[in-house]
Amino acid sequence: MPKEINESMQLWGGRFSQETNPIMSEFNRSFPDGKLMYREDLQGTAAYVLALHTAGILTADELQEINRGLEVILTEWESGSFQEKSGDEDIHTANERRLTEIVGKVGGKVHTGRSRNDQVSTDVRLYARKHLLLARQYLKDLITCLVHRARDEIDVLMPGYTHLQRAQPIRWAHLLSSYATQLTDDLQRLEMVLNITNRCPLGAGALAGNPYQIDRQLLADQLGFAQVIGNSLMVVGDRGFVTDSLYWGFSVASHLSRMAEDLILYSTAEFGFVKLSDAYSTGSSLMPQKKNPDSLELLRGKCGRLFGNLAGFMMTVKGLPSTYNKDLAEDKRALFDTLATIQNSLQISTGVFSTLSINTGKMRSALSTDMLATDLADYLVRKGVPFRECHNIVGRVVNAADELKYSGIDILSLEELKAIDDRFLEDVHIVFDFESSVEKKSARGGTARSAVIEQLDFIESKIADL
The pLDDT score that the predictor gives to residue 17 is: 54
Beta bridge partners of 160: 168
Give domain status of residue 8, yes or no: no
Mean pLDDT of 388-392: 95
**Coil, strand or helix: which one is 161?**
strand
Catalytic option among 17, 81, 163, 413: 163
Q: Which of 58, 87, 112 is the last residue of a domain?
A: 112
pLDDT confidence tier of residue 8, bands split at 50, 70 and 90: very low
Q: What are phi and psi of 158, to 5 degrees?
A: -155, 165
CATH of the domain at 85: 1.10.275.10
Domain co-membership, 55 together with 70? yes
- Tell me the C-alpha distance between 98 and 82, whole Å: 9
pLDDT value at position 14?
54
How confident is the model over 98-138, as pLDDT tens digits?
A: 999 999 999 999 999 999 999 999 999 999 999 999 999 99
Q: Do residues 287 and 273 both lie within one domain?
A: yes
Please say whether the beta carbons of 409 and 376 come within 8 A.
Answer: yes
- The mean per-residue pLDDT over the stretch 360-383 comes to 96
Q: What is the pLDDT of residue 11?
A: 54
Question: Would you say residue 448 lies in a domain?
Answer: no
Q: Are residues 353 and 412 in the same domain?
A: no
% of the chain with per-residue pLDDT over 90: 89
| Strand 357-358 with 274-275, pairing | antiparallel
Residue 91 contacts residue 123 (beta carbons within 8 Å): yes
Q: What is the mean pLDDT of residues 144-172?
A: 97
Domain of 73?
Answer: 27-112
The answer to the question of residue 452 being in a domain is no
Q: Does 374 share its domain with 263?
A: no
Known catalytic membership, residue 131: no
Question: Where residue 428 sits, what CATH number does that domain have?
Answer: 1.10.40.30
Burial of 94 (0-12, 13-18, 19+ CB in 10 A): buried
Cα–Cα distance, 235 to 378 (Å, whole number):
60
On whether both 89 and 139 belong to a single domain, the answer is no
Q: Residues 321, 205: one domain?
A: yes
- Shared-domain flag, residues 89 and 187: no
Same domain, 128 and 176: yes
Indicate the average pLDDT of the chain.
Answer: 93
Residues 203 and 125 in one domain: yes
- Tens of pLDDT, residues 65-94: 999 999 999 999 999 999 999 888 899 999
Residues with Cβ within 8 Å of 410's Cβ and at least 6 positions away in sequence, in order, are 369, 372, 429, 432
Kindly state whether residue 250 falls inside one of the protein's structural domains.
yes
Q: Give the per-residue pLDDT at 375.
A: 96
CA triple 38-124-350, angle to 5 deg: 90
**Residue of 312, 341, 358 lying closest to 149 (CA atoms):** 358
15 band by pLDDT with thresholds 50, 70 and 90: low
Express each pLDDT in 237-291 by its tens digit.
Answer: 999 999 999 999 999 999 999 999 999 999 999 999 999 999 998 887 888 888 8
User: Are 66 and 208 in the same domain?
Assistant: no
Residues 361 and 416 grouped into a single domain: no
Question: How many domains is the chain built from?
Answer: 3
In the predicted model, what is the mean pLDDT of residues 349-364? 97
Same-domain check for residues 129 and 256: yes
Closest CA to 232 of 323, 148, 300: 323
Output the pTM of the full model: 0.91
The active-site residue out of 284, 365, 436, 442 is 284
Q: Any catalytic annotation for residue 257?
A: no
